[in-house]
Structure 1
Amino acid sequence: MSDSAPQVICLGEALVDRLGPLGCDPATADPKDCDDRLGGAPANVACALARLGTPVAFIGRLGADVIGNNFQEMLGNRGVDLRGLQIDPQRPSRVVLVRRDSSGERVFQGFAGDRGEGFADQALTQTSLDPIWCALAAEARWLLVGTIPLATQDSLATLRSAVSQAERDGVRIALDVNWRPTFWDRSAEPLAGPTPEALVLMQPLLEKAQLIKLAREEAQWLFRSSDPAAISASLLQRPDVLVTDGGQPVRWFLAGHCGSMPVLAPPQIVDTTGAGDAFTAGLLHQLVKLIPLTGQPFQLSAKVVEQVVRFAAACGALVCAGAGAIDPQPLPSMVVEFLDQLDS
């Protein structure tokens, strides 16, 4: 564990992505042909931040099983603060079935391992979080959350409590929407949009976040627009907004500046899982360095903002060059080298 106090707190799910063979269904494929990788968006971001050198804590819940043990070892080796990690003695860690097409693009299509009581991440509890929150948040600049914990009552209550405490303590809230319909309804189509009930649960987060990152289709579902400036203007707190769109340009409204940038081509595409999480980590890593004090408004030039987004985009591109969301995450030197090669 890092000796430095966390500057970012990531709250949410840690799980295993079971990657099926390219073009095959992981639910029916021979397990020996599948590739199990540690993942989950908040855990991915925490690992990527630690790899980049930003002190980070992870708040989540895992089963008392092999997956839970592997996560504790991996997160600990990365230097992630694990005081907020809960271990569930009854529910298992979640395994997500990931179907990949021939280009590496993925669809989350179900789960494995449920023994009838659900998964550990669904039971993230507020009572275990309250005693250690103040210690974790003492120097934190950002609390990163997603929408998946909203799908279950216990984790929903814990997420809302953490957001309230972050507001009280002046910790900025970053929201990566990360809509995954199968986490809400296992029978849902993997590409379905949010239900009216899910939209109602998401709205308070959208109204509290200072930074919102979302995919183009998520922007259309939630705001009927993919224009970052228009999305920001529709919310009272006028958050910074970034909209990604797969291989299309990323667009932003950040520190009062609008812009767009073509995606950076990775050295090769093996698997796109975790690319968006690496992007988010690169973004927060840069903002932590550039904005030294909690509660102060962004005062960055348009040129600096573009450099911040470019660094984040490089982090995302490099993750696509390896399997899984965590193992390919780059060191800062790798990001700089990659950007230098693009410029040469």
Structure 2
Amino acid sequence: MVASPSVLCLGEALVDRLGPPGGDPATADPDQIDDRLGGAPANVACALARLGTPVAFLGRLGQDPIGEAFAGLFAGRGVNTAALQWDPRRPSRVVLVRRDRQGDRQFGGFAGDRGDGFADEALEAEPLAAALAGDGGLLHGAAWLLVGTIPLARPAAAAALRRAVALAAAAGVAIAVDVNWRPTFWDGAAAPDAPPSEAQQQLILELLGQAALVKCAAEEALWLFGRTSPEAVRQALPRRPAVVVTDGANPVRWTFGAATGELAAFLVAVADTTGAGDAFTAGVLHGLCARPSLLRGEDPAGVVELIRFASACGALVCQAPGAIDPQPSAEAVAGFLSGHWQRP
């Protein structure tokens, strides 16, 4: 019998087209580019499945080779796809990703648009609601709904996201939000490092106001809250959520209830940072599904171990190209942790 999903991951599944280190994927020769299945919610779903947490992916793909590849991937990983929608007209999205020679990446434009946009932008609210809340729907038995902010960039996907969040809240399912700010998804002409506008900030903050767990990068916290402190983010939001602030190779910081702290990053050889943050998010949710009380911060030492486990998930993904292929099993994470010390 297949276990009911503990985590539901809503949002985009797409292809990251990685250019050669220091090069441009839009102009590179075909033998110099590396197409990898990705998209933050899809990455988290696949990482959770690899770790052993039952998970479902909620999204929309084109009826094309990318969609077929994801169908095979999700089936192979054991990801529940009962709420996966198929678009007969719009293609799955291809994102152009530049990488510097240290493995850090920057998201540029897109490839494949035939004039109607991409499948993930057209996620439909009504079929999604039926899959979530109908008889035997996915919300029954779920602990978490994970969402990002990218669906907010387009009206149809934004409406579907808001419907899912409302249904989850009514069912007592906790909301986790990974800010995951990507300006080119909102405006194709925006610079890859552009901050959100005031209107975009308002949309994001409305979503964050419903979260029990917020993960954001330091620059995202600064743009949205004027400070990078996890406690400042927590105090600015009405539900006083648990907050994790990542900062690349700098220490990760958190506040879970009264438990606060930071941990230095693991020192590893970096091949590609794509998907490392998503693997981290999966590690956190995997741990919270096993020990829900950690969210309240009543066991500070347990929270440290939770963040350490999640950091190891991210470090392992950094050591090979792509966001999904290098994702570790729980056993691989345990092996990594047994051989690596992390400075508190």
TM-score range, shorter chain: over 0.9
Contact 1:13-1:41 at 8 Å conserved across structures: yes
Structure 1 partner of 2:161: 159
Contact 1:228-1:242 at 8 Å conserved across structures: yes
For 1:81, what is the secondary structure of its paired residue? coil
Structure 2 partner of 1:273: 274
Superposed displacement of residue 231, structure 1 = 1.1
| Alpha-carbon distance between aligned partners in 2 of 1:269 and 1:17, rounded to the nearest angstrom | 18
Superposed displacement of residue 298, structure 1 = 2.4
| Alpha-carbon distance between aligned partners in 2 of 1:232 and 1:98, rounded to the nearest angstrom | 32
2:125 counterpart of 1:117 = no
Contact 2:125-2:159 at 8 Å conserved across structures: yes
The superposition leaves residues 219-269 of structure 1 with CA deviations (integer Å, 9 ceiling, x where unpaired) of 000000110011101112111000000000000001321100001123x21
Structure 2 stretches of 5 or more lacking a match? none
The superposition leaves residues 66-116 of structure 1 with CA deviations (integer Å, 9 ceiling, x where unpaired) of 000000100111000000100000000000000000000000010000000
For 1:26, what is the secondary structure of its paired residue? coil
Q: What amino acid is the match of 2:233?
A: I
Structure 2 partner of 1:307: 305
Structure 2 partner of 1:254: 256
Q: What amino acid is the match of 1:86?
A: Q
Superposed displacement of residue 343, structure 1 = 4.2
| Alpha-carbon distance between aligned partners in 2 of 1:240 and 1:259, rounded to the nearest angstrom | 12
Matches within 5 A, 1:119-268: 119-134=118-133, 135-266=137-268, 268=269
Contact 1:281-1:312 at 8 Å conserved across structures: yes
Structure 1 partner of 2:329: 331
For 1:213, what is the secondary structure of its paired residue? strand
Taking only the aligned residue pairs, the percentage that are identical comes to 56
Superposed displacement of residue 299, structure 1 = 5.2
Q: RMSD value over aligned CA atoms?
A: 1.3
| Alpha-carbon distance between aligned partners in 1 of 2:252 and 2:236, rounded to the nearest angstrom | 20
For 1:248, what is the secondary structure of its paired residue? coil
Contact 1:45-1:281 at 8 Å conserved across structures: yes
| Alpha-carbon distance between aligned partners in 1 of 2:141 and 2:41, rounded to the nearest angstrom | 19
Superposed displacement of residue 132, structure 1 = 1.3
Q: What amino acid is the match of 1:232?
A: R
For 1:175, what is the secondary structure of its paired residue? strand
Contact 1:319-1:325 at 8 Å conserved across structures: yes
In the TM superposition, structure 1's runs of 4+ consecutive aligned residues that sit over 4 Å from their partners are none
Alignment CA distance shift 1:104-1:343 (3 Å): closer
Q: What amino acid is the match of 2:277?
A: G
Q: What amino acid is the match of 1:276?
A: G
Q: What amino acid is the match of 2:61?
A: L
Q: What amino acid is the match of 1:274?
A: G
| Alpha-carbon distance between aligned partners in 2 of 1:340 and 1:157, rounded to the nearest angstrom | 45
Structure 2 partner of 1:288: 289
For 2:251, what is the secondary structure of its paired residue? strand
Superposed displacement of residue 141, structure 1 = 0.5
Q: What amino acid is the match of 2:311?
A: A
Superposed displacement of residue 297, structure 1 = 6.5
For 2:246, what is the secondary structure of its paired residue? strand
| TM-score (normalised: structure 2) | 0.97
Contact 1:59-1:84 at 8 Å conserved across structures: yes
| Alpha-carbon distance between aligned partners in 1 of 2:158 and 2:230, rounded to the nearest angstrom | 27
Q: What amino acid is the match of 2:321?
A: A
How many residue pairs match? The answer is 339
For 1:208, what is the secondary structure of its paired residue? coil
Contact 1:255-1:305 at 8 Å conserved across structures: no
